[in-house]
Amino acid sequence: MGQVAGKVAIVTGGASGIGEACSETLAREGASVLVTDVDDALGEGVIDRIAKAGGKAHYLHHDVRDEAAWPGVVAEAEKRFGRLDIVVANAGIGIMAPIESMTLADWQRQQAINLDGVFLSIKHAIPALRRAGGGSIVLMSSIAGLRGAPGLAAYSATKGGVRLLAKSVALEHAADGIRCNSVHPGIIATPIWGKIPTGAEGNRRNAPIDPRERAAAVVPLTRVGEAQDIANGVLFLCTDAANYMTGQELVIDGGMTAGGRPPPRTQ
Ligand code: NAD
């Protein structure tokens, strides 16, 4: 308890899955959390649970693509909680299709949320983090940002972009005491898998993927990841224990990227 006591965090896409687990974990460890998302019902649920557990949080409707609204989001964190120390740029979507047939609209939607949204999160948070004397920015990438996968070219392009964005931001703002790292989850059981658009347009997949089934086949630790597994890593990057860590990649994938190829199933 208390690993981020007194700190103030913004978590984008904080209403569901990994963002929800990050919001609840940071709050449980003593941070005041501004949860932002476009799903208001889920977002309100997250802050209710945090309040019932004795934590401090507030929910704000915000689409990460909306640059005009970003200054208001940062101002809300500072006005309500007094400062800003932590930004978890987590909001993201996944659209799978072969690159040859992917529509430009699908490509652009993914870029806008997964990459433009992360850029805007950083750009608008930096002045407030500087005012607080430094802080921690955590960018949600993926193992798809470390290596390629068929059907994931557009998603990988966004997550690879996030990976290098973290490194450049880390170097630009190291002297301000602002750290920036990327987190690379493997296959995590969250609602995102059920939201992957299916259907004929752009030759998308015909059926959603079951993450537990997929993980059973390719994860060395033989289980799917849980959102809490990722929130634990995010928490670490936000604590003072990670004070000397910036521009780095934290991979949390049950060993998926440890070898060149997925290990053969033995049972
Ligand atoms: P999720 O769908 O459960 O949560 C994503 C949240 O982002 C949702 O609450 C959604 O409403 C919100 N969101 C979507 N578009 C938004 C927008 N324009 N503005 C603000 N909020 C928006 O998915 P998740 O699995 O928790 O994904 C969180 C992050 O983790 C994403 O960046 C995803 O790419 C990444 N990731 C997930 C996995 C996995 O296996 N689940 C693996 C690697 C990386």
| Interatomic CA distance for residues 187 and 7, integer angstroms | 30
Q: CB of 93 closer than 6 A to ligand 1?
A: yes
Question: Would you say the C-alpha torsion 183, 186, 191, 193 has a positive or negative sign?
Answer: positive
| Interatomic CA distance for residues 56 and 41, integer angstroms | 18
Angle at 54 between CA 48 and CA 57, to 5 degrees: 50
- Closest C-alpha to ligand 1, atom 1: 192
Q: What is the pLDDT of residue 261?
A: 63
Q: CB of 185 closer than 6 A to ligand 1?
A: yes
Q: What DSSP letter does each residue of 46-108 carry, written as one string?
A: HHHHHHHTT-EEEEEE--TT-GGGHHHHHHHHHHHHS---EEEE---------TTT--HHHHH
What the chain holds in terms of domains, given with CATH numbers, is 8-255 (3.40.50.720)
Q: CB of 76 closer than 6 A to ligand 1?
A: no
Residue 194 token pair: 């059920």
Q: What is the pLDDT of residue 265?
A: 44
Q: CB of 142 closer than 6 A to ligand 1?
A: yes
Q: CB of 63 closer than 6 A to ligand 1?
A: yes
Q: CB of 39 closer than 6 A to ligand 1?
A: yes
Residues of the chain with pLDDT under 50: 263-267
175 C-alpha to ligand 1 centroid (Å) = 31
99 C-alpha to ligand 1 centroid (Å) = 22
Give the 3-state secondary structure of residue 178.
Answer: strand
pTM: 0.96
By most ligand atoms within 8 Å of CB, the mutation choice from 39, 73, 93, 249 for ligand 1 is: 93
Q: What is the pLDDT of residue 267?
A: 35
Tell me the per-residue pLDDT of 23-34, one tens digit each, with 9 for 90 and over. Answer: 999 999 999 999
13 C-alpha to ligand 1 centroid (Å) = 6
Active-site residue 155, yes or no?
A: yes
- Closest C-alpha to ligand 1, atom 18: 63
Q: CB of 25 closer than 6 A to ligand 1?
A: no
Q: What DSSP letter does each residue of 123-150 carry, written as one string?
A: HHHHHHHHHTT-EEEEEE--GGGTS--T
Nearest by Cα to 186 from 214, 165, 158? 214
Tell me the per-residue pLDDT of 85-95, one tens digit each, with 9 for 90 and over. Answer: 999 999 999 99
Say which of 59, 70, 81, 155 is annotated catalytic.
Answer: 155
By most ligand atoms within 8 Å of CB, the mutation choice from 34, 37, 124 for ligand 1 is: 37
Q: CB of 92 closer than 6 A to ligand 1?
A: yes
Q: What is the pLDDT of residue 262?
A: 55
- Strand-pairing partners, residue 61, are 37
